Amino acid sequence: MSFSSKELVLALVLATLSAIGHCEVYKRVDPITGHVTFTNFPVMPKDSPPAEQPAPIVKPLRKESRAASMTVAPTKFPTVDQSEQKRRDADRLQILKDELAAEQIALAKAQQKNDSPALHRHRANVAALEREIVSVK
C-alpha cells in the first residue's frame, strides 16, 4: 500500500494535533471519485461502504490542570508610589497625543493624494489612538 505525499502530510498533522486535543478521526473514500475525506464524525451516505475504524488516539504526555498552569504573583512584587505612577501616566498620555497628531497629519496628506490604502491605514491608526487615549484618562 502506497500513500501520496498529501496523505502522509495529513497523517502527520493529525498525529501531531491528536497530542493537543482529543477526538476520533474517520477516513472516508468516495467510491466514485476516490476522494479521501478525514472527519471527526462518521460519514455514511446510503450508497457508500461503512467508514473505517477511527485512528488511534495519542494521549498527551502530561496533562496539567488549569489551576496548576496559572501563575501566582510573588509576594514582594515591585510597586511604584502614586505620584510616580501619575507622572508615568501623564507621559504616556502625552506620547499618545503626539502620535495622534502625527497620524492626523499623515491622514491629511493621504487624503490630498487620494491614496486609498494609506487612508484606510491612517484612519484605523487614528481610531486606535483615540480609543487608547480614552482608556488612559
pTM: 0.44
pLDDT tens for residues 56-99?
665 655 655 555 556 666 777 788 899 999 999 999 999 999 99
CA angle centred on 126, ends 88 and 117, rounded to 5°: 140
Give the C-alpha separation, 17 to 25, whole Å.
11
pLDDT value at 16 more than 80? no
Helix (H, G, I), strand (E, B) or coil at 5: helix
- The top-scoring range by mean pLDDT among 14-28, 37-51, 71-85, 90-104 is 90-104
Give the mean pLDDT of 25-38.
Answer: 78
